[in-house]
Chain A
Amino acid sequence: MLLKETIQEKIRSGALTMKPKVYFVLRGLLYLVGMLLVLGLTFYLIGFIAFMFRANGVFILPEFGLRGVRTLFVSLPWFLIVLVVVLVIILELLSRHFFFVYRWPIVYSLLGFVVVLGAGGALLGQLSIHESMMRLAEERSLPFAGPLYRHFGRMHFPDGHIGTILATSTSGFSLLVRDGNIYAVMVTPGTRFPHGQLIMPDDVVMVMGLLDDERIEAFGIRKIDDVRVMMPRPPFPSPFLQPR
């Protein structure tokens, strides 16, 4: 039997039927919704990472030189970064279904995604909504994203300590760090500190140096002027706090 006859026979007998148009419309919609979900999640995660960096003063770390860069590298939220990379790859694969994407080399569409997602995510990271969500998460009142904020929201640097200066002395100062502990910071002639800058009680600073029995020998100190770096208010008036 000729192929034409075989096919027509199958059509006539009902063995071969065509899928209705609505099937393709729904499939297209499902595809679009899937893509939008992945896109939204990627934007949100990049925004969250941008918020983490801003709220934890990550951008100050490189000012401590190679040591700061190393601390930055080991403290990066690698799990979230890998997750974002995987989501971008999924987006790229999903988008190659469309002719306006597969007609171009992968590097173009990938670059497009990176630029749009990076810029959009960085802008989303500036929104104060993350601070509110962080607060709710810490009060355990944020149902879904709570664990994300509690686990990743406050970054811990192995030898970087962010805190508020409670009192200064001739050998250094006492520092109230974000988890409520108070450490004695020893300033030596080798401590790196911007020339001419003064530090005073109530200043928020990042101290680079290893913690040893509640004492930190400061390798470097930088003042944090960005008010959006997450700092708890001092829980009590410090007995060491000296008037300015």
Chain B
Amino acid sequence: MTTHTLQESADERIAKQVQSGDTEAFGVLVERYEAKMLRYGRKFLFNYNDIEDAVQTVFIKAYANIQSFNVTRKFSSWLYRIAHNTFINMIKKKGREPLLFFEPDTILFHSVPDDRADKEVELRGIREVLDHGLEKLDPKYREVLVLYYFEEKDYREIAEILHVPVATVGVRLKRARERLKSFIKEEKI
């Protein structure tokens, strides 16, 4: 397959090619996701210096484990899951922020809050606010905001990335917004 055709192929198709031995095709996936992974890393890992190294680790892990990728599922969710694990390991290693082994919000059933239809209207203002307030939030709230507002993932995709129930994503987003609002009030942003 030529480079031109590769560029137009779906991620999953390219991943299948890599699995079949066309290792050069992996470069296309790196190209496609490098900027996204860097943005995800920069927003999620506040005050961490080695984000480029972490993103490189994400792609190294993705290549090493690509045979475990199920091509009938979404490649981006799989890659974001690897990134999530890599970034969480980094936070744990540095030990600067609290991370629970077990998240209580995954225990009980919550009704799924609406995956908001007015997201676009909300997006304009909230991204600016998020830039000021993200660093004050716990990693679990920060990450869900980054995935929703910057990476533009829907609830279902975020749930797949974080391995939590869809309703937990809604609950975390709601709490994250509330906490953010209170920070904004306190600091009069």
Provide the bound-state CA to CA distance between A72 and B165, in Å. 39
Asked if B167 is at the interface of the complex by the 8 Å CB criterion, the answer is: yes
Checking B26, B67, B163, B166 against A96 with a beta-carbon cut-off of 8 angstroms, the contacting residue is B163
Interface residues on A, range: 20 to 34
Q: Do A18 and B165 have beta carbons less than 8 Å apart?
A: no
Checking B27, B67, B166 against A8 with a beta-carbon cut-off of 8 angstroms, the contacting residue is B27
Q: Do A8 and B26 have beta carbons less than 8 Å apart?
A: yes
Q: Do B59 and A105 have beta carbons less than 8 Å apart?
A: no
Provide the bound-state CA to CA distance between A151 and B24, in Å. 63
Per the 8 Å Cβ criterion, residues 1-38 of A in contact with B are: 3-4, 6-8, 10-11, 16-21, 23-24
Provide the bound-state CA to CA distance between A23 and B166, in Å. 31
Number of interface residues of B (CB under 8 A): 33
* Residues of B with C-beta under 8 A to A3: 30, 34, 52, 55-56, 59
Checking A6, A11, A19 against B65 with a beta-carbon cut-off of 8 angstroms, the contacting residue is A19
Q: Do B64 and A103 have beta carbons less than 8 Å apart?
A: no
Interface centre among A16, A106, A107 (most CB of B within 10 A): A106
Asked if A79 is at the interface of the complex by the 8 Å CB criterion, the answer is: no
Overall SS of chain B's interface: helix
Asked if B120 is at the interface of the complex by the 8 Å CB criterion, the answer is: no
Q: Do A18 and B63 have beta carbons less than 8 Å apart?
A: yes
* Residues of B with C-beta under 8 A to A78: none
Checking A4, A19, A104 against B31 with a beta-carbon cut-off of 8 angstroms, the contacting residue is A4
Q: Do B164 and A102 have beta carbons less than 8 Å apart?
A: yes
Q: Do A7 and B26 have beta carbons less than 8 Å apart?
A: yes
Instruction: Tell me how many residue pairs across A and B have CB atoms closer than 8 Å.
Output: 71
- Among the 9-residue stretches B1-9, B104-112, B125-133, B173-181, the one with 4 or more Cβ atoms under 8 Å from chain A is B104-112
* Residues of A with C-beta under 8 A to B159: 103
Q: Do A17 and B27 have beta carbons less than 8 Å apart?
A: no
Asked if B184 is at the interface of the complex by the 8 Å CB criterion, the answer is: no
Provide the bound-state CA to CA distance between A16 and B60, in Å. 7
Per the 8 Å Cβ criterion, residues 21-36 of B in contact with A are: 23-24, 26-27, 30-31, 34
* Residues of B with C-beta under 8 A to A106: 106-107
Per the 8 Å Cβ criterion, residues 49-64 of B in contact with A are: 52, 55-56, 59-60, 63-64
Q: Do B106 and A17 have beta carbons less than 8 Å apart?
A: no
Asked if A108 is at the interface of the complex by the 8 Å CB criterion, the answer is: yes
Interface centre among A10, A20, A102 (most CB of B within 10 A): A102
Asked if B137 is at the interface of the complex by the 8 Å CB criterion, the answer is: no
Checking A4, A10, A96 against B60 with a beta-carbon cut-off of 8 angstroms, the contacting residue is A10
Asked if B91 is at the interface of the complex by the 8 Å CB criterion, the answer is: no
* Residues of B with C-beta under 8 A to A21: 19, 67
Provide the bound-state CA to CA distance between A114 and B23, in Å. 47
Asked if B68 is at the interface of the complex by the 8 Å CB criterion, the answer is: yes
* Residues of A with C-beta under 8 A to B63: 7, 11, 16, 18
Provide the bound-state CA to CA distance between A11 and B66, in Å. 13
Checking A16, A99, A102, A107 against B109 with a beta-carbon cut-off of 8 angstroms, the contacting residue is A107
Q: Which residue of A lies closest to B59 (CB)?
A: A7
Q: Do A4 and B56 have beta carbons less than 8 Å apart?
A: no
Q: Do A107 and B60 have beta carbons less than 8 Å apart?
A: no
* Residues of B with C-beta under 8 A to A6: 56
* Residues of B with C-beta under 8 A to A19: 64-65, 67-68
Q: Do A108 and B109 have beta carbons less than 8 Å apart?
A: yes
* Residues of A with C-beta under 8 A to B30: 3-4, 7-8
Per-residue interface assignment for chain A, residues 91 to 113, with 1 indicating a CB less than 8 Å from any chain B CB and 0 otherwise:
00000100100111111100000
Per-residue interface assignment for chain A, residues 41 to 70, with 1 indicating a CB less than 8 Å from any chain B CB and 0 otherwise:
000000000000000000000000000000
* Residues of B with C-beta under 8 A to A105: 106-110, 165, 167-168
Provide the bound-state CA to CA distance between A19 and B166, in Å. 31
Chain A residues within 8 Å of B, Cβ to Cβ: 3-4, 6-8, 10-11, 16-21, 23-24, 96, 99, 102-108
3 smallest A-B Cβ distances: which pairs? A24-B68, A21-B67, A4-B30
> What are 7 A-to-B residue pairs whose CB atoms are below 8 Å?
A4-B31, A7-B59, A16-B60, A18-B23, A105-B109, A107-B107, A108-B109
